[in-house]
Structure 1
Amino acid sequence: MEAHDEQFVPDHKFRDWIVSTFIDGEGHLHNPDHQHLRFADIGVLWTNVDNSRNMRTVIGQAELMPPMAMGKWQRARAEQQIADWFDGMPTFVLTFHAKWASIMDDASFCALVEHELYHCAQKKDDHGQPKFTQAGLPSFGIRGHDVEEFVGVVARYGPTAEVSRMVEAALGDRGTSRLDVARACGTCHLKAA
């Protein structure tokens, strides 16, 4: 693929679907864990640019805005591009790889979207309570993964407390039914990818 064929395309309708499906209280896959995001402005991008990190393919990414880790001109250029795409600076930008999304089943696709939403977190204060700005709005940040461990370490030494909680969640009842996923998603959203 030529560099000029690599694209990032904003999708405001997909953003609206994410909000109405997972964040708004009436969505088929509403998750109260995301209630703080009612106060966030979320931008959504599709891309065809391949990406990898730590020898793993990246198919989704959440970023807190404005972008930070770059030089002054690069940052100003990036801020201008993002503001042009979204008519202002969103709180978060979610980027999804269109090719990978197009081949996922509905449940896997919804899991990918929620995975990125879980990264879009409300900061905690020194006592572990939700943190707010002086205006009374949530103070936002990027949250890391709940579990980060190697299968080989767990096989040799047993699970950590975090891994044990993940295993309990995996073995428990699923909070989302296939019917709810079908009602919320359907293949029409995947074809947009």
Structure 2
Amino acid sequence: MDEGATLENPDHAHLRMACIGFLWTNVANSKKGRMVIGTAEKGQPQGALGKWARARAELQVRQWFTEVPDFIITISAPWWLQAGDAERCALIEHELYHCAQDKDAFGTPKFSKSTGMPVYVMRGHDVEDFVGVVRRYGAEATQVQELVDAANAGPEIAAASIAHACGNCA
């Protein structure tokens, strides 16, 4: 994204050096009874894979992207085709928010000692509280006041609805 472009979001500046691969899928997916239209994950195969399974998974990723990206964002092609521009942008931004540069105990961005490159991690949502707590004690008592303020200000670009759709969230 070009600096100063209409859709540039400074919140994603920490990803400028990240390699992000995008995949399209036509395979329907759901999680906890909700349709998944997008997901973000680390590019390096994760989980409890044996050596051979990990090698196969990494080979597949290298064949797709020529290198293992820092993150892979997968998007449902059927959903994308019927979505409007605002929904598409909102989905991509949502998935990018899951991608983050790791920070140390002091909040300073982490870099690899061996390569000097940023260390990346997956990030959960920044709104990690319960509606009941906010209802009973107010947004000020939690970490959602910024979200409340943003909601009250209205959309900066356009209204969009993707809340039902993230594979990381459902």
Shorter-chain TM range is 0.7 to 0.9
Q: Tell me, what secondary structure is at the counterpart of 1:33? A: helix
- 2:127 matched to which residue of 1? 147
Q: Does 1:120 align with 2:99?
A: yes
**As a proportion of its length, which structure holds more helix?**
1
- 1:41 matched to which residue of 2? 19
Query: What amino acid maps onto 1:146 in structure 2?
Result: D
Following TM superposition, the consecutive aligned residue runs of length 4 or more in structure 1 with deviations greater than 4 angstroms are: 149-160
Task: Tell me, in whole angstroms, the C-alpha distance in 2 between the residues paired with 1:68 and 1:177.
Answer: 35
Task: Tell me, in whole angstroms, the C-alpha distance in 1 between the residues paired with 2:130 and 2:33.
Answer: 14
Question: Cα deviation per residue 1:106-140 (whole Å; 9 max; x = unaligned)?
Answer: 11110000001111101010111211222433211
Q: Tell me, what secondary structure is at the counterpart of 1:28? A: coil
Query: What amino acid maps onto 2:46 in structure 1?
Result: M
Q: Which moved more, 1:106-115 or 1:148-157?
A: 148-157
Q: Conserved in 1, the CA contact under 8 Å of 2:86 and 2:157?
A: no
Stretches of structure 2 lacking an aligned partner (at least 5 in a row):
160-170
- 2:166 matched to which residue of 1? none
Alignment match of 1:65 (pick from 21, 40, 43): 43
**RCO greater where, 1 or 2, for CA within 8 Å and sep 6 or more?**
2
Q: What number of residue pairs does the alignment pair up?
A: 156
Alignment match of 1:138 (pick from 118, 123, 148): 118
- 1:174 matched to which residue of 2? 155
Scaled by the length of structure 2, the TM-score of the pair is: 0.80
Could you tell me the percent identity over the aligned residues?
53
Stretches of structure 1 lacking an aligned partner (at least 5 in a row):
1-19, 179-193
Task: Tell me, in whole angstroms, the C-alpha distance in 2 between the residues paired with 1:175 and 1:129.
Answer: 29
Scaled by the length of structure 1, the TM-score of the pair is: 0.71
Q: Tell me, what secondary structure is at the counterpart of 1:39? A: coil
Give the root-mean-square deviation of aligned CA atoms: 2.2
